[in-house]
Structure 1
């Protein structure tokens, strides 16, 4: 696991209403723990053994116990009906994400002395959570057998990791956004509302720090590591020392500026003056830091960096940031996609960025120059991109954004990168998302999203959706690709 991510340890606390047999919750808790450990191991859970919570005093004792055990996430397990006040106070006073789950009845032969009524108790728990304005994760169907509840708790782990990560995240940015880049506006008020710190720096600060690393004795070792990673794709070896110097600059900046925060993401500057002053473009270095679990967004996209970090937490894997860039030409669709994959032409598009996607997520890679920038600048100052087609496979395209008037909204869409050659440049892939054309119009355009989207390599929509809900994004502001036949509110019914 990356060092820049939280390690989740879940404390499982069972509760019991005092007019129900406490043994119901005790035995069901033991069965739940066994089911989880048998299937998923013991590393990320802790069974609170001190008491079954029936009262506020028990609640305090349980909280002290899970805190002492180092738990940073909580599962409140209704082994029976449960004490609605004490169980919700567990979530209120626990410093971290909380989940509520309830026990199903085990046998038709034990519905007198052994009936727990947790199905009913979950309703009271949810009512009391709302009454006290307490956040908690409740699964889609939160009542189950020991094995079923174990699976639900396992699904909570990446959700908890994302929430915990945000509570200890600092975003470090360099420079204002480039000219003509208002799309990636970043009202920082919502960052503070989420518990995220931000440190905004000048490009001049970064330039000074870079030159303090001139002739850094560590540069040759970083160059060797880059050479090993690039292999035959090392087409611009002359720029590697500068890139190594820049990588060391960023890593040292993180170490010196992390402050009291545990986790860091970077929103970096890369044009228009970056190339002429630094003498390269930073794309490849950005890709390497992202591969270390330290997401770096291009073009000072602060909410892009925030989105990347959430995806890294949820997936425990590196992510990337791409432009939702261009259509797939009709002749390419006819030749390579139609009849071979179950997608319409409008379901497909190309996701691209100059060269910030990590080499492990590319079919092959090569160090090149930035072709778009080189149209106006000498080619030698635009070297430093990592180009190649993105690996085919499942992806989730998503973004968390603050609007210009500081309201949170998000989108999530699951799809795949197709195994089709792009015949283009940069870090690029042919993406397919069901009903992408309608999603593009009625979520992305209608929601005023920028062209940058974060990409997680796998299907993580379920976890991302729950993270966004938990941190306060209104559910009506979480866009997704509606299936065919389900109309968007802004979709013309006569179109």
Structure 2
């Protein structure tokens, strides 16, 4: 993946001048060693911050090392003014953590009181209006701190990625399918760029790529990827031309930004004018870290990108689509063990999920569009989907969305895809999320979320939730357990 940032971690130890600086430095070195043992690369900045002059030296060292994510480590109590000034002036994602005491046999000369120092640090961070990453329990041994830093690396990748992200969109949403429309003002609040374009801009650029000399090589790549699933080889030249069109648009229009995603209108005029459906190309770009959200879903594309940064894995965007019938539930009770029927649903889209995230896949056609545009005919302009069952395993359903009045809100729900044949079409899988029925009613419906959800192919709720807090998202919903009512849930059942 080349469309997500590389996080370069640095750790700076701080020491209050009435505590031994050697204690903080020794503990910092221990954290770095454990990180190295865990294959977590981190630069040990040898400047230990006791005062504001040290802050300037540390900032210079961080700049020289090209550090873009900073761990401020309280090896002892720490000086609250200088340590928070360091966080303020650093200019990138910052984590605060503190050392636990190592042994009961050394609690006189070897006691650091960082447990206490984190309290003062938090107060001073609030005075400076800073929102660093503070783990759920931010005090630990070297081994525990290293695990916290591992989470921070993924969180930092999200924040750095968003700070350099531009979203390209093509075309407005159809009048009778407005669900994913949302104000773009909150994108500016996040520091995300947005470049809205006409479908004609895309069509003109696509036509300009006719007979591009790179097309044959892309076709060969597609053949290799599809293998035996290359059911409609005749559509590959158009798909290859379209893929090159999007990649060139990205390269030529990034401007001041480093990373990009797309949110493109893909029906109904797309098929009649371009002569194919773009789903397979969308899947290929997503597998390389460039999500392409269908139906001009700008916040869907943003959500996919956040997932990609959090996991360093491809993401997909699916409709929260249909229920699992009772007979299918009854016939597969052994595989659905632990889940109620309304904990289950089918996640579906026409064919935009990367092949690496599929259990099986093959080139197909968009059946819904086919019934509208080519009824009773052999598929032609509706070819181009990647169809099959989505692979089973852990997932996180996630979306960051603006309300109609430009307030950002989000949801995060962990679950799994069950290895049961969906017996349907498109890219589809049976999803299981505990208490999904209540989550569906009180979050997805109750908070007016659209039908698209981003899918991470692992449990990543902890990282996503923490990143959202750092971004200042006040409303982050999750699938509450049965013992925990939603605010508007009727308790009289």
TM-score by length of 2: 0.98
Closer/same/farther in 2, CA of residues 340 and 275 from structure 1, 3 Å limit? closer
2:65 to 63, 66, 69: 69
Structure 2 equivalent of residue 17 of structure 1? 16
- Kept in 2, the 8 Å contact 1:279–1:381? The answer is yes
- How far, CA to CA, are the matches of 2:318 and 2:217 in structure 1? 30
Per-residue CA deviations over 1:267-295 (Å, capped at 9, x if unaligned) read 11101111100000100000000011101
Q: Say which SS state the counterpart of residue 304 (structure 1) adopts.
A: helix
Instruction: Tell me the C-alpha RMSD between the 2 structures.
Output: 1.0
Structure 2 equivalent of residue 481 of structure 1? 479
Aligned length in residues: 489
Which runs of 5 or more structure 1 residues have no equivalent in the other structure? none
Q: Say which SS state the counterpart of residue 376 (structure 1) adopts.
A: helix
- Kept in 1, the 8 Å contact 2:329–2:336? The answer is no
TM-score by length of 1: 0.97
Structure 1 equivalent of residue 323 of structure 2? 327
Structure 1 equivalent of residue 43 of structure 2? 46
Per-residue CA deviations over 1:210-244 (Å, capped at 9, x if unaligned) read 00011111111111111111111111111110000
- Kept in 2, the 8 Å contact 1:287–1:359? The answer is yes
Per-residue CA deviations over 1:45-89 (Å, capped at 9, x if unaligned) read 11111x210111111110111111010000000011100011011
Q: Say which SS state the counterpart of residue 107 (structure 1) adopts.
A: coil
- How far, CA to CA, are the matches of 2:35 and 2:166 in structure 1? 33
Per-residue CA deviations over 1:393-423 (Å, capped at 9, x if unaligned) read 0000010001110001000100000000011
- How far, CA to CA, are the matches of 2:306 and 2:150 in structure 1? 18
- Kept in 1, the 8 Å contact 2:320–2:453? The answer is yes
- How far, CA to CA, are the matches of 2:383 and 2:174 in structure 1? 19
Structure 2 equivalent of residue 166 of structure 1? 162
Structure 2 equivalent of residue 374 of structure 1? 370
**Is 1:460 matched with 2:460?**
yes
Q: Say which SS state the counterpart of residue 38 (structure 2) adopts.
A: helix
1:343 to 322, 339, 345: 339
Q: Say which SS state the counterpart of residue 412 (structure 2) adopts.
A: strand
- Kept in 2, the 8 Å contact 1:73–1:96? The answer is yes
Structure 2 equivalent of residue 214 of structure 1? 210
- Kept in 2, the 8 Å contact 1:338–1:344? The answer is no
**Is 1:87 matched with 2:83?**
yes
- Kept in 1, the 8 Å contact 2:154–2:309? The answer is yes
Deviation at 1:177, TM superposition (A): 1.4
1:98 to 94, 99, 110: 94
Structure 2 equivalent of residue 494 of structure 1? 492
Question: Which deviates more, 366-375 or 420-429?
Answer: 366-375
Moved >2 Å (runs of 4+): 337-341
Structure 2 equivalent of residue 424 of structure 1? 424
Q: Say which SS state the counterpart of residue 381 (structure 2) adopts.
A: helix
Which runs of 5 or more structure 2 residues have no equivalent in the other structure? none
- Kept in 2, the 8 Å contact 1:173–1:201? The answer is yes
Q: Say which SS state the counterpart of residue 453 (structure 2) adopts.
A: strand
Structure 1 equivalent of residue 401 of structure 2? 401
- Kept in 2, the 8 Å contact 1:213–1:245? The answer is yes
